[in-house]
Amino acid sequence: MKLTMTLALCFIAGACASAQVTPVAPAALNPVGVYDFTTTIEGTAVAGTITITQGASGYTGTIATNVSPSLPIRSVAVDDRKVTVAADSPDGPVTIIMELAGDEFTGTWSYAGMSGPHTGKRRP
């Protein structure tokens, strides 16, 4: 009886030791939140806020800066830790890309034929 039990335990231990562990994929980034950013446009320091909310048919929100009126967000796309926000302005489309590392981010923006880098932080 002891020999049978010992063999059964060895078999189970061997099966467990040889089993492959599949890593759990990280949860998809939830972009909902308030993001403060800074950049420079034509030599002028610009501060702004991107507010992303969850609407009935997807993400919505606003982009606001200290040099322009608030713009409604048209779309938000998430690809791993990259968030792309799009809006429309009287001067054409606005695109803001944020690459998140924790709550901090770097990225690029484009607006009215201009583009540049920006940095910022997601509020807690």
pTM here? 0.78
Indicate whether 82 belongs to any domain: yes
Q: What does DSSP assign to residue 56? A: T
Strand, helix or coil for residue 1: coil
Judge whether 98 lies within some domain. yes
Neighbours of 78 (CB within 10 A): 15
Whether 9 maps to a domain, the answer reads no
Domain that holds residue 81: 33-122
**Total structural domains within the chain:** 1
> Per residue in 1-21, pLDDT tens?
554 544 444 444 444 455 566
Domain assignment present for 17: no
Q: Is residue 72 part of a domain?
A: yes
Which CATH number do you get for residue 53? 2.40.128.120
Alpha-carbon distance of 18 to 53, in angstroms, equals: 46
In a domain, 28, yes or no: no
- 57-99: pLDDT as tens digits: 899 999 999 998 999 999 999 999 999 999 999 999 999 999 9
